[in-house]
Amino acid sequence: MFRFGSPRILWLCVLCAIFLGAPRGAASAKSPYYDANLRTKTGIDILEEENFTPLRGKRVGLITNQTGVDLHGRRTIDVLAHAPDVKLVALFSPEHGIAGRADAAIANATDAATGLPIYSLYGETRRPTPEMLENLDALVFDIQDAGVRFYTFITTMAYCMEEAAKRHITFIVLDRPDPLGGEAIEGPMLDAGRTSFVGYFPMPVRYAMTLGELARMFNAENKIGADLRVIELKGWHRRETYDQTGLAWIPPSPNLHTPNAAFLYPGIEILQAAGVSVGRGTDTPFEIFGAPWIHADALAAELNHRNVPGVSFAPADFTPTDGLYQGQLCHGVRITITDRPALHPMRMGLEIADALRRLYPDSFDPAEMIALVGSQSTVEQLERGTPPAQIVASWAPALAKFRKLRNKYLLYH
């Protein structure tokens, strides 16, 4: 790390970085978005290296949010707005909005830096309308995913692909890593006939694919017929999780504060519909959960007795300022990851659900988890008291079949 002998020299360096290194309206180049000692570059970085060749001469719409930045921390919005021979004409925002701060429906807006319209895809419509797509030659997608089936950015991408295909608009994915890594597949398959905005395609909860790989699979298997191009990552290997890439963690939504929270998220989020606060409105969402009817000491003791791989549990009280039980004192458990490679978040989530069902049968109903779990068989096994390890084992044949399908669309080793 460099040390400057004079504060004046430091300020001169910062000013040079701002005025020489970034276009107007962009984030400052001094922002710590990238560790140069590591090698991962995302799709927007490769697009810049290619001098925007796929977009030259085109009128472009960009689907993005706060995670769409290049290795200098410049917004993809600003990069494309200043790209030579590229005409950026419209922006589209997913759930949580262009800044990723909202936990409600989003209205259309205007981007302050560029003056471009921002069309919400989580408001009156969840698909771009013909009017929004009028006169576009290309739609570009640059959003960081969470690596989880019920995270809605997946469906937003797929819906945009479908609408682009109908109008013969080229669809370009600026790829980013799967933050949970590209190897571990986990969870039940989504039941046939249960597709929705939180379940676009029959796949497991944790699918270990990048958005570019998912786009290739959706396009082929759902016969979307999009003119699809993926601008691939460079320097990412499937074994790597997000915090091994050198890229700074930008929360993709208001409650995914850290990579640790992202690893716990698949197994904890499924509990909320059954009446459990998952920590929204606290400093550590998805690392804490509870409810007014839980006895913290008893639940923590039960969970630790189960020896759930990769985590430990401690009793905790909290009062969420948002979400379920807002303003009410909740008793619950704080989760600590003790061995991330050993952690299987869906197994953990089933262990928690099983413990809650046994300890609080009048307050916790596993059937309420069906929308995100997506598997009637899994829910029914929980209701019957089938041991979680046995439930996990029951997924194996379907996961093997999915892995074989998935292999056709992988881009990275």
pLDDT above 70 (res 8):
no
pTM exceeds 0.85, yes or no: yes
pLDDT band for position 117 (cuts 50, 70, 90):
very high
pLDDT at 110 over 60: yes
CATH of the domain at 103: 3.40.50.12170
Reply yes or no on whether the pLDDT at 220 is more than 70: yes
Q: Contact, 239 vs 183, CB < 8 A?
A: yes
What would the mean pLDDT of 192-199 be, rounded to a whole number? 96
Q: Is the pLDDT of residue 30 over 90?
A: no
Asked if 339 contacts 310 with a C-beta cutoff of 8 angstroms, the reply is: yes
300 and 226 inside one domain? no
Give just the sign of the alpha carbon dihedral 179, 188, 351, 320. Answer: positive
Indicate the pLDDT class of residue 36, thresholds 50, 70 and 90.
low
The 10s digit of each residue's pLDDT in 319-340 is 999 999 999 999 999 999 999 9
Taking only the tens place, the pLDDT of each residue in 246-290 is: 999 999 999 999 999 999 999 999 999 999 999 999 999 999 999
pLDDT given for residue 6 in this prediction: 40
CA-wise closest residue to 70 among 7, 12, 22 = 22
295 occurs within a structural domain:
yes
Domain that residue 310 falls in: 259-374
Residue 338: predicted pLDDT: 98
Q: Which residue has the tokens 């082929």?
A: 220
- 267 & 230 share domain: no
Both 85 and 229 in a single domain? yes
Q: Are residues 206 and 310 in the same domain?
A: no
81 backbone dihedrals φ, ψ, rounded to 5°: -65, -25
Q: How far apart are CA 215 and CA 231, in angstroms?
A: 12
Residue 12, in any domain of the structure? no
Claim to verify: residue 214 and residue 335 sit in the same structural domain:
no
Distances (CA, A) of 114 to 78, 82, 120, 188: 7, 10, 17, 43
**Mean of all residue pLDDT scores within the chain:** 92
115 and 171 housed in the same domain: yes
**Domain-embedded: residue 311:** yes
The pLDDT score that the predictor gives to residue 39 is 79
Instruction: Kindly report, residue by residue over 130-157, the tens digit of the pLDDT.
Output: 999 999 999 999 999 999 999 999 999 9
Domain assignment of residue 74, yes or no: yes
Looking at 244, 278, 295, which one is the last position of a domain? 244
Same domain, 228 and 304: no
334 and 270, same structural domain?
yes
**Domain contains 249:** no
Among 23-32, 161-170, 205-214, 398-407, whose mean pLDDT is lowest? 23-32
Answer with the residue of higher pLDDT: 190 or 28: 190
What is the C-alpha to C-alpha distance for residues 174 and 289, in angstroms, rounded to an integer?
35
Residues 298 and 364 in one domain: yes
What mean pLDDT do residues 98-127 have? 97
Does any domain span residue 11?
A: no
Q: Which CATH number covers residue 306? A: 3.90.1150.140
| 219 domain-assigned | yes
200 with 265, same domain: the answer is: no
CA-closest candidate to residue 324, choices 368, 371, 281, 379: 281
